[in-house]
C-alpha cells in the first residue's frame, strides 16, 4: 500500500498565558514567530500561535492555543513530550541556556542511542531537545542561540499509551510507520527514511490514568502529519475507512492549510494536513510573518472585537524576520 503522509507538519498544544508562551518559544527555545491568528472553531476567541525554524518547513511548526481558562489533566492517551532536534554535542550549551532562564531540566538521558534533555514549558508541557547529527534543516538564530545550537525542527513526539498493540496497529497499518526498536517501555516507529521528523515513540504507561481530551492548559491537543495536497488527505481518509477507522472527519478548511482528523485507539488525536495555496504567506509577506494578528476572511468583520478580547502580547524583535521593533499587539 502507498501511504500519502510523509512526516510531521505541526504539533499543537494548549498553553496557559499567551505572553509566557511567546517568551518560552521565542526566547527559551529560540524559534521564530511564524503566525498570529485564532482558533477557527467555536465562538470564543482563542489565540492560535505558530512558531517554526528559519524556513517555516513542515515538521518544524509548533502551534499553541493559550487557554488559561482551564487547566488540563496530563495523562495517558496524550502526547507526553515534543522532541526538537539539535546539533550533536550541543546539550551542554542547552543546560547552561536553560539555567540562565531558570528552567529546570532532568539529567541528560539516552533513548535509542540518542542523547536528550527533557524540561517543561511554563504550563507543564513536556519538551525535549535531542541530538541528531543527520538533521541538516536550518534553525532560527537569536542573540542567545546561534544557528549551530538552535532547534532544526521536530525529531518527533512521545505518546503516552496504556497499551501498545492497538496504537501500534494504527500507526503501522493506517499510516505506514514501521516498528524500529523497543527499549524498556519505549517503542519506536519510523516512516519513510526515518530519523528526524519521521519518528513517533510510544511510551507504555499501563497504570497512568487517562488525560483530559478537552482544551486545558498544560496538555497537548494533537499531532499533525503532512501530505502533499488535498488528494493525499482524501487517500488517507479512504485508508482509515477501509481499515474500519470510520470516525475520521471531513476535510476542513483552516485557511493556511487543510486538515482531516482521526483519533487513534490510544486516544491521541492525529491530524492529516496539507498546505493551502500561499500557506502562511497568503495574508502577509515573508518579511511580516508573525508580526501581527491575522484572521481568516470569515472572521474579518470581528477583528476589533476579537483583538480586544485577547491578552496583549509583545513579540521580541529577534523572533520576526522583518521587524525593526518589538510589536505590541
The correct CATH number of 5-328 out of 3.10.180.10, 2.40.50.100, 3.40.50.2000, 3.10.450.40 is 3.10.180.10
- pLDDT (0 to 100) of residue 41: 83
Q: How far apart are CA 93 and CA 57, in angstroms?
A: 25
Query: Residues 2-28: what's their mean pLDDT?
Result: 97
Residue 225, pLDDT above cutoff 70: yes
Across the range 54-73, mean pLDDT stands at 95
The residue among 190, 105, 97, 200 whose CA lies nearest residue 151 is: 97
Among 90, 71, 61, 73, CA closest to 15 = 71
Confidence bin at 42 (pLDDT 50/70/90): confident
Q: Read off the pLDDT band of 94 (50, 70, 90).
A: very high
Express each pLDDT in 274-294 by its tens digit: 999 999 999 999 999 999 999
Q: For residue 43, what pLDDT is reported?
A: 77
Burial of 110 (0-12, 13-18, 19+ CB in 10 A): exposed
Q: What is the DSSP string of 128-162?
A: EEEE-TT--PPPP--SSS-TTTS--EEEEEEEEES
Sheet holding 219-227: strands in order across?
A: 32-38, 47-52, 61-66, 5-15, 219-227, 269-275, 257-263, 252-253
Mean pLDDT value across residues 77-86: 98
Q: Where are the alpha helices (DSSP H) in the chain?
A: 18-23, 91-100, 165-169, 230-242, 303-309
Percent of the chain residues past pLDDT 90, beyond the cut: 88
Q: Residue 8: which residues within 8 A CB-CB, separation 6 or more?
A: 58, 59, 154, 156, 157, 197, 198, 223, 224, 225, 226
Over range 133-160, report the average pLDDT: 97
Domain ranges of the chain: 5-328
Name the pTM for this structure: 0.95
What pLDDT does 58 receive? 95
CB environment 145-170: b (16+ within 10 A), e (fewer): beeebbbbbbbbbbbbbbebeebbeb
Cell of 85: 532536534
- CA–CA gap between residue 256 and residue 281 (Å, rounded): 8
Does residue 328 register a pLDDT over 60?
Answer: no
The C-alpha atoms of residue 33 and residue 53 are separated, in whole angstroms, by: 9
Q: Tell me: pLDDT of 54 over 60.
A: yes
pLDDT(87) > 90: yes
pLDDT at 250 exceeding the cut of 80: yes
User: What is the reported pLDDT for 322?
Assistant: 63
For all residues of the chain together, what is the average pLDDT? 95
Per cent of the chain over pLDDT 70 is: 98
Torsion of CA 206, 211, 217, 222, to 10 degrees: 90
Amino acid at each position: 500500500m502507498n501511504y500519502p503522509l510523509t512526516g510531521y507538519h505541526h504539533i499543537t498544544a494548549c498553553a496557559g498565558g499567551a505572553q509566557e508562551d511567546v517568551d518560552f518559544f521565542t526566547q527559551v527555545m529560540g524559534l521564530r514567530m511564524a503566525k498570529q491568528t485564532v482558533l477557527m472553531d467555536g465562538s470564543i476567541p482563542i489565540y492560535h500561535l505558530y512558531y517554526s525554524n528559519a524556513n517555516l518547513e513542515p515538521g518544524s511548526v509548533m502551534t499553541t492555543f493559550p487557554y488559561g481558562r482551564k487547566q488540563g489533566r496530563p495523562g495517558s492517551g496524550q502526547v507526553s513530550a515534543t522532541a526538537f532536534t539539535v546539533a550533536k554535542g550541543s546539550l551542554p550549551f542547552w543546560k547552561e541556556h536553560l539555567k540562565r532562564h531558570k528552567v529546570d531540566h532532568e539529567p541528560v538521558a539516552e533513548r535509542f542511542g540518542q542523547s536528550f534533555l527533557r524540561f517543561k514549558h511554563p504550563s507543564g508541557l513536556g519538551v525535549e531537545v535531542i541530538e541528531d547529527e543527520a538533521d541538516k534543516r536550518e534553525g532560527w538564530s537569536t542573540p542567545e542561540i546561534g544557528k549551530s545550537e538552535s532547534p532544526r525542527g521536530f525529531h518527533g513526539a512521545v505518546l503516552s499509551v496504556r497499551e501498545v498493540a492497538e496504537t501500534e496497529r494504527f500507526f503501522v497499518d493506517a499510516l505506514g510507520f514501521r516498528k524500529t526498536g523497543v527499549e524498556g517501555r519505549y517503542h519506536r516507529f519510523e516512516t519513510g527514511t526515518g530519523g528526524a521528523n519521521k519518528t513517533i515513540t510510544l511510551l507504555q504507561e499501563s497504570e497512568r490514568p487517562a488525560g483530559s481530551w478537552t482544551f486545558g492548559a498544560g496538555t497537548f491537543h494533537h499531532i499533525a502529519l503532512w501530505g502533499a495536497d488535498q488528494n493525499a488527505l482524501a487517500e488517507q481518509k479512504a485508508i482509515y475507512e477501509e481499515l474500519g477507522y470510520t470516525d475520521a472527519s471531513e476535510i476542513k478548511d483552516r485557511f493556511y492549510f487543510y486538515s482531516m482528523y482521526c483519533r487513534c485507539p490510544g486516544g491521541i488525536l492525529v491530524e492529516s494536513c496539507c498546505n493551502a495555496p500561499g500557506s502562511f504567506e497568503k495574508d502577509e509577506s515573508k518579511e511580516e510573518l508573525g508580526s501581527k494578528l491575522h484572521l481568516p476572511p470569515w472572521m474579518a468583520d470581528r477583528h476589533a472585537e476579537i483583538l480586544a478580547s485577547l491578552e496583549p502580547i509583545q513579540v521580541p524583535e529577534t523572533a520576526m524576520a522583518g521587524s525593526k521593533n518589538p510589536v505590541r499587539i
